Structure 1
Amino acid sequence: MTMLRPAILLFILLSLMTGGLYPLVTTALGQWWFKDQANGSLILQNGESRGSRLIGQNFSDAGYFQGRPSATAESPYNPMASGGSNLAGSNPELDKAVSERISALRAANPQANPTVPVELVTASASGLDYSLTPAAVAWQIPRVATARGLTTDQVSKLVAEHTQKPLVSFIGMPVINIVELNMALDALRKN
């Protein structure tokens, strides 16, 4: 019994530390240092949650910029089923899906360059990407401008305003948050 007592006390102590104290400290620090991220990076509009800045949404209307394809289960951009298609580059199903996406994008964007940016036809590993490179967004500008009755210069200016550049250029590349850009397009229409 004398050998068992220290083991039980150590078990209780470590359980309290790792199961209680550690989660409380990390939650408190997360709320203190990264409040927005810890609470889901929600986009609030008129007091109503419109989505998250870190999770893509399915935009299919011609007047909206479209993000990367989503391979999540049941429905596109399903945050409860994050994951890629797991199709290998040599899989004929992937070739077929990419070809269909290219055909659909070319049909929806007849005035754009025939070379479709790769990120518009391939799903990411998470299936929830919220951003695109400026090149992939620029490829869609003519379609969005025409559908909204705006000039390409007006839409290009809005895209430039929403381009997020990395703090140090060699650490990353510029990206554009598609959800925020589409919300800015809606706000532009209301003004």
Structure 2
Amino acid sequence: MKYIKKSVLILIIMTFITGILYPFTVTIFAQIFVPKQANGSIIELDGKSIGSEYVGQNFVSPDYFWSRPSMTLDYPYNGQKSSGSNNSPTGEDFRKVIDKRVKLYKKYSNSTNDKIPVDLVTASGSGLDPHISLRGAMYQVDRVSKYSKISKDKLIELIDNNTEKKIIGIFGEDKVNVLKLNLDLEKLK
């Protein structure tokens, strides 16, 4: 009986610490020091939530920049079912998906010699990546300019303004948040 009482007491104490005290402390800390990130980094337009900085969106119109492909279940960029396709890079299913994406880009491209950046035809591991490479954004300038009737110079300026540089200039790669870029593009329209 002595051991049962100790076990129950430890269970109650640990439940309080790990189930109440710790989550409460972390939540308060996050709300004070990083409230934007703690609340999902929601982007609002005219008082309406339109997306998060950290979750991609499915842009399909040729007059917008396209995001990295998403292979989440049910629909693209489904945050509740974040996952990759789990297709083998050497498998036939993977090849078919890539070929389909390449054909879509080539359909809108003026040049057949330009190599399509890999991030424009392959999904990220989570399927939610909101960024594309700087090269991926620049690759799309011709198409977006043609369909949006906005000059290439203006689009390149938008890309420059929305490029997130390497951390400390050495870690990671330059990248562009597609939602933010398209919001700025929308302002020009």
Hey, what's the Cα distance between the residues in 2 that align with 1:87 and 1:11?
A: 43
Cα deviation digits, residues 89-110 of structure 1 (max 9, x gap): 1111101111111111111222
User: What TM-score, normalized to structure 1?
Assistant: 0.94
Do the aligned partners of residues 56 and 118 (structure 1) sit closer, same or farther apart at CA in structure 2, a change above 3 Å counting? same
Partner of 1:147: 147
Kept in 2, the 8 Å contact 1:112–1:142? The answer is: no
Partner of 1:110: 110
Q: Structure 1: where are the runs of 5+ without partners?
A: none
Q: Structure 2: where are the runs of 5+ without partners?
A: none
Do the aligned partners of residues 111 and 58 (structure 1) sit closer, same or farther apart at CA in structure 2, a change above 3 Å counting? same
Partner of 1:36: 36
Partner of 1:46: 46
User: What TM-score, normalized to structure 2?
Assistant: 0.95
Do the aligned partners of residues 112 and 177 (structure 1) sit closer, same or farther apart at CA in structure 2, a change above 3 Å counting? farther
CA-based RMSD: 1.3
* The 10-residue stretch of structure 1 (72-81 or 62-71) with the greater mean CA deviation from structure 2: 72-81
Percent of residue pairs bearing the same amino acid type? 34
SS of equivalent residue, structure 1 residue 150 = coil
Hey, what's the Cα distance between the residues in 1 that align with 2:146 and 2:103?
A: 20
SS of equivalent residue, structure 1 residue 123 = coil
Hey, what's the Cα distance between the residues in 1 that align with 2:172 and 2:17?
A: 38
- Written as runs of structure 1 = structure 2, the 5 A alignment for 1:1-191 is 1-111=1-111, 113-189=113-189
Hey, what's the Cα distance between the residues in 1 that align with 2:154 and 2:12?
A: 64
Do the aligned partners of residues 82 and 9 (structure 1) sit closer, same or farther apart at CA in structure 2, a change above 3 Å counting? same
